[in-house]
Chain A
Amino acid sequence: MIKAVVDNLKGLWSLVVGLSVTGRFFLSPQKTVHFPRDVVGPEILESFRGPLELVPADDQGGSKCISCQMCARACPGDCITVVKGDAGKAPKEYKYDFTLCCLCAACVESCPAGAIRFSHRVYMVARSREELRLDLLADLRERCGLEPAPAPAPADKTKAVA
């Protein structure tokens, strides 16, 4: 009997504690960002998984990729197509279909050369499926400033929105 009363008094006190927590939250500043007027900082995007991108090996648009096909094999959604180049190990073509990608990171983890990673493009907009079928080599060259953006350029749109 006494235990029940004490337990219930403790329970009541926990309700007061709960009220004080929400009351404090009510008065403290907000955590959300009003998107069109304000954007989140890059440090928050550190852990954001956007579409894949190639890691630049140098500033000449070269990648670390050795065309070993490990990423294409590891991918559960078959969204990566790598074509080996004629000379050397560098790929001739690296196509990535973002519509099929589930952002599982199997490719990133399986890559022996550490050549791919997730980008932090959070404000990406596409108006058709074609725009989401990315050419990562072109994207890499574009990021190095070697090539103007091709016609369906998701990277360009990203910048425009951000």
Chain B
Amino acid sequence: MDLSIANFAQIIIACLLVIALMVGNAVVMVYVERKACGFIQRRPGPYEVGPRGILQAVCDSMKLLGKQIYVPGNIDWILYFLAPVLAFFPVLLLYLPIPFGRHLTAMNVDEGILLILAFSGLGVVSNILAGWASNNKYGILGAARAVSQAVAYEIPMIMALLAIVFLTGSLSLTEIVERQGSWPWQWNIVVQPLAFFIYLVSLVGETNRAPFDLPEAESELTAGFHTEYSGMGFALFFLSEYANMLLVSFVCAAFFLGGYKGPFMDGFWWMFIKAYAVMVFIVWIRWTFPRVRFDQLLNINWRWLLPLSILNLWVTAVIVRFI
């Protein structure tokens, strides 16, 4: 890819659109999450602000904007303020290789998934820095958990994605989507159900969502790594959590669910429908299952997901090579 002015402008515009998408996504998901939680617990959820509580998320974000930023004593100033920024900005880059259409990609690189997997690691770094810099025992514990959880769950996640890469022979997300058909039985989920399942489980672990939200387990660690963050610092973590959720849902849609291809008419709407279906599923899981203990979390990964993903990868490799 040559770095011409046009390309540069394209990336700038894409970044702006991605920021808009991230913020809009967070506002929508806060509402969806609270409503879904309410319905599952058989109560209405947010109801008073605006018709049916639609404006609740807007009010919440206004509240976060207006809050005092309270800084605890004896912190590491540079790292403390770097961490939320570091949580937020790498996500911008991660959205660039996502294909929303045949040509609707901000940066159509051949190593798209490699880029995403490499830079998503920065999110964990920000969690560690936040926990370490805020000079708080809960923060440190949350950070320590974030490390071992990220190390554990990235491996089966990558293995599951690699199985698809083996089948397709390409690391480009556009290419992977192009290899799938429009109808559900032509999607990769049919060929690789086990990889899909492994990806789905490690996706929840990777985004620190319940039941795998150990780094910020409220009942044990108050808020884990972001205990000492208030106002916009917290809002950036919050935003990046939802942005990461949306990102892994997009990757899930592109890899397993046919991406922008769908029945009747291909287009970016299918990408969004599929990604948000995965998001709603994540929310559904969150309000169904209790949080696992930390040893259980690691046992699930090391004893089941990892061997299964290696087995799956091996079988895929053999099939691709000899059949």
Interface residues of A (CB under 8 A from B): 8, 15, 18-19, 21-23, 25-32, 34
Instruction: Say yes or no: A31-B43 contact (C-beta < 8 A), given A22-B284, A22-B287.
Output: yes
Q: Are A19 and B304 in contact (CB under 8 A)?
A: no
Q: Are A19 and B284 in contact (CB under 8 A)?
A: yes
What's the Cα separation between A8 and B304 when bound, in Å? 9
Cβ–Cβ < 8 Å partners of B288 in chain A = 18-19, 21-22
Cβ–Cβ < 8 Å partners of A27 in chain B = 39
Instruction: Say yes or no: A32-B42 contact (C-beta < 8 A), given A8-B304, A26-B36.
Output: yes
Q: Are B284 and A30 in contact (CB under 8 A)?
A: no
Closest CB in chain B relative to A151 CB, distance in Å: 35
**Interface size, B (range):** 10 to 19
A-B contact count (CB 8 A): 35
Instruction: Say yes or no: A30-B44 contact (C-beta < 8 A), given A8-B304, A25-B39.
Output: yes
Q: Are A18 and B40 in contact (CB under 8 A)?
A: no
What's the Cα separation between A31 and B38 when bound, in Å? 11
Of all chain B residues, the one with the shortest Cβ separation from A12 is B197
Instruction: Say yes or no: A22-B44 contact (C-beta < 8 A), given A8-B304, A15-B289.
Output: no
Cβ–Cβ < 8 Å partners of A25 in chain B = 39-42
Closest CB in chain A relative to B33 CB, distance in Å: 13
B47 in the interface, Cβ–Cβ < 8 Å? yes
Closest CB in chain A relative to B84 CB, distance in Å: 32
What's the Cα separation between A18 and B287 when bound, in Å? 10
Cβ–Cβ < 8 Å partners of A30 in chain B = 39, 42-44
Contact with A along B41-66 (1 / 0, CB 8 A): 11110010000000000000000000
Which single member of A18, A26, A34 contacts B39 (CB below 8 Å)?
A26
What's the Cα separation between A18 and B43 when bound, in Å? 19
Contact with A along B300-323 (1 / 0, CB 8 A): 000010000000000000000000
Q: Are B289 and A18 in contact (CB under 8 A)?
A: yes
What's the Cα separation between A18 and B290 when bound, in Å? 11
Interface residues of B (CB under 8 A from A): 36, 39-44, 47, 284-285, 287-289, 304
Q: Are A26 and B43 in contact (CB under 8 A)?
A: no
Q: Are B47 and A28 in contact (CB under 8 A)?
A: no
Contact residues of B: prevailing secondary structure: loop
Cβ–Cβ < 8 Å partners of B43 in chain A = 30-32
What's the Cα separation between A80 and B21 when bound, in Å? 64
What's the Cα separation between A25 and B47 when bound, in Å? 18
Closest CB in chain A relative to B277 CB, distance in Å: 14
- 15 example contacts (A-B, Cβ-Cβ < 8 A) are as follows A15-B289, A18-B288, A22-B40, A22-B284, A22-B287, A25-B42, A26-B39, A26-B284, A27-B39, A30-B42, A30-B43, A32-B42, A32-B43, A32-B44, A34-B47
Q: Are A31 and B284 in contact (CB under 8 A)?
A: no
Cβ–Cβ < 8 Å partners of A22 in chain B = 40, 284, 287-288
Cβ–Cβ < 8 Å partners of B284 in chain A = 19, 22-23, 26
Cβ–Cβ < 8 Å partners of B41 in chain A = 25
What's the Cα separation between A18 and B39 when bound, in Å? 15
What's the Cα separation between A23 and B42 when bound, in Å? 11
Closest CB in chain A relative to B253 CB, distance in Å: 20
What's the Cα separation between A15 and B42 when bound, in Å? 20
Cβ–Cβ < 8 Å partners of B40 in chain A = 22, 25-26
Closest CB in chain B relative to A21 CB, distance in Å: 8
Cβ–Cβ < 8 Å partners of B36 in chain A = 26
Q: Are B285 and A19 in contact (CB under 8 A)?
A: yes
Cβ–Cβ < 8 Å partners of B304 in chain A = 8
Of all chain B residues, the one with the shortest Cβ separation from A20 is B288
- Given A26-B39, A30-B39, A31-B42, 16 more A-B residue pairs with CB atoms under 8 Å apart are A8-B304, A15-B289, A18-B288, A19-B284, A19-B285, A21-B288, A22-B284, A22-B288, A23-B284, A25-B39, A25-B40, A27-B39, A29-B42, A30-B44, A31-B43, A32-B44
Of all chain A residues, the one with the shortest Cβ separation from B211 is A15
Which 10 A-B pairs rank lowest in CB-CB distance, beginning with the nearest?
Answer: A32-B43, A22-B288, A31-B42, A26-B39, A22-B40, A26-B40, A30-B42, A18-B288, A25-B40, A19-B288
Q: Are B287 and A28 in contact (CB under 8 A)?
A: no
